[in-house]
Amino acid sequence: MKKLVSIIVPVYNSENFLFENISSILNQTYYNIEVLLINDGSSDRSLSICKELAQKDQRIFVINQENKGVSAARNKGLEIAQGHYILFVDSDDILEKNMIMGLLRGFENNIDLVICGYNVQHLSKEKKVKNEKIIFERKIVSVEDISRNYWEYFRKGAINPLWNKLFKSSIIKNEGLKFPENIKMGEDGYFVVNYLKSCQNIMFTNDIYYNYMVYPYQSSQKIFPDYYEMMRINFGMIESFLNQYNGLDNEQNFKYHQNELFKVLKHSIVSIEKSKQIDKKHNIKYILNENEVTRKISYQNISSKRNKLFLFFFKRKNTLIIRILISVENLIFLWRKKWKK
């Protein structure tokens, strides 16, 4: 008998996308699936649409809960999933009809995770579409290779996405893996890296099976005043993984790591500056007093002179100069944007 694949779909106010989304799941060439629709307190017609679809296909199961966030919804799905494999799908995205069949073929030769390519479709408010294809070389790599070249894989779009991967439920259950419910950003990458810590071999396919839809309202484009705290949790997981397999022994990987740490530090302060609801000066001082981050970053590993200047004042905790530099940088960005028009 063919092995069962559990597909976990968190649903929140997705009434405009659900029919096309669920249809792309039900029309898979691989039939033995269970579709877990976790309605996370939607205020629109999402729940009624889920129930309507469930009446038409016995492979759909609807779970309704009060609004707790996408991580809690996915964790609920993991609690009840019965499949040998787990696929996570966002409720406004589209699957190619042979996605599950294609990913399952990758589970040979002691493979613990299969990763496929994907389309990123950027939709503007004017409903214009800009398509970006993310394609990987077909190969099998060890988890040590992922660790030693982590940031290279990250920059190619291989690590962070959750929905282009087919997971083994045995690893998830044996390791007690869950999504962190205390952060609103980066939870996908956190889960993937935590899963990788229990892998041996990873399979990349050179096929595109997933269509990721990017809308102007999505959370990845929002400003989070607590960005620093969320990224600190994520970087803790990443560094744990890299240290487990000596990933930072690779000089290039270490340099990338330093630059990414710097980006987190700088973007955290930019997020605070753009926010209107918080004490900016106090929160920037809090970040600068966290010597844990600035101490780890060395000037020689920062790529640009401008960022080295930022780092100089970061290390000296000069809040005033840092805020001035960020304001000037933002003005230059706006000026360039205006003149491009």
* Confidence at residue 222, expressed as pLDDT on a 0 to 100 scale: 56
The domain limits of the chain are 5-220, 250-340
Torsion region of 24: left, alpha or beta (phi above 0 gives left; psi -120 to 50 gives alpha): alpha
* Confidence at residue 277, expressed as pLDDT on a 0 to 100 scale: 60
* Confidence at residue 288, expressed as pLDDT on a 0 to 100 scale: 84
Query: Which of residues 209 and 299 earns the better pLDDT score?
Result: 209
Render pLDDT for 286-298 as a digit per residue (tens, 0 to 9). Answer: 888 876 677 778 8
Residue 86 to residues 7, 57, 81, 114: CA-CA distances in angstroms?
A: 6, 19, 8, 11
* Confidence at residue 217, expressed as pLDDT on a 0 to 100 scale: 61
Sign of the C-alpha dihedral computed for residues 46, 48, 51 and 53 taken in this order: negative
pLDDT at residue 337 tops 90: no
* Confidence at residue 151, expressed as pLDDT on a 0 to 100 scale: 95
* Confidence at residue 120, expressed as pLDDT on a 0 to 100 scale: 94
Q: How confident is the model at residue 225 (pLDDT cuts 50, 70, 90)?
A: low
Query: Which of residues 277 and 55 earns the better pLDDT score?
Result: 55
pLDDT at residue 184 tops 90: no
The residues, any chain, with a CB within 8 Å of residue 53's CB and separated by 6 or more, are: 18, 19, 22, 37, 60
Architecture of domain 5-220: Alpha-Beta Complex (3.90)
Q: What is the mean pLDDT of the chain?
A: 90
Closest CA to 164 of 88, 97, 219: 88
For residues 163 and 100, what is the distance between their CA atoms, to the nearest angstrom? 12
* Confidence at residue 219, expressed as pLDDT on a 0 to 100 scale: 46
Average pLDDT over residues 161-170: 97
* Confidence at residue 100, expressed as pLDDT on a 0 to 100 scale: 98
pLDDT at residue 332 tops 80: yes
Residue 34 φ/ψ, nearest 5 degrees: -120, 135
Percent of the chain with pLDDT over 90: 63
Percent of the chain with pLDDT over 70: 93
Average pLDDT over residues 27-48: 97
* Confidence at residue 1, expressed as pLDDT on a 0 to 100 scale: 65
* Confidence at residue 301, expressed as pLDDT on a 0 to 100 scale: 84
Q: How confident is the model at residue 122 (pLDDT cuts 50, 70, 90)?
A: confident
Span of 57-61, 68-72, 78-82, 227-231 with lowest mean pLDDT: 227-231
Render pLDDT for 255-298 as a digit per residue (tens, 0 to 9). Answer: 999 999 898 888 888 888 888 766 888 888 888 887 667 777 88
* Confidence at residue 242, expressed as pLDDT on a 0 to 100 scale: 95
pLDDT at residue 338 tops 80: no
Q: What is the pTM of this model?
A: 0.91
